[in-house]
Amino acid sequence: MTNREKILLNLYDVIKERIINNANDSYVNSLHKSGINKISEKIGEEAVETIVAIISKEKKDIIHESADLMFMLLIAWAEKGIHPNEIYDELIRREGISGIKEKENR
């Protein structure tokens, strides 16, 4: 696995470490202390910013906002004890299945 492929796993590990070690100078830990509602609010903000970028901004802005959104999702997953591999497994499960069929199977 290349560094590019491992980045989400590495970032997830850093997020978990900052939460576990109660790092006072950490943005991640400040969100952790604020609770899942605040983290969810931040996900919503980043999702809206990503949508705005997709509609009206340049590629670099879409990339920047998408990275912010993914970072917030990683924090939420860490809070809920969901490892990125579980998300990968779900995406693998869905690979090759039509979106309509996948929704019917839920």
For 2-56, the pLDDT digits (tens) are 888 799 999 999 999 999 998 888 999 999 999 999 999 999 999 999 999 999 9
| Distance, CA of 51 to CA of 45 (rounded, Å) | 10
Domains of the chain: 3-81 (1.10.287.1080)
Residues listed for the chain:
106
Per-residue pLDDT, 103: 64
pLDDT tens for 88-103 read 999 999 988 776 665 6
Asked if the model's pLDDT at residue 1 lies above 80, the reply is no
Per the listing, tokens 């990275």 go with 67
Q: What is the DSSP letter of 57?
A: S
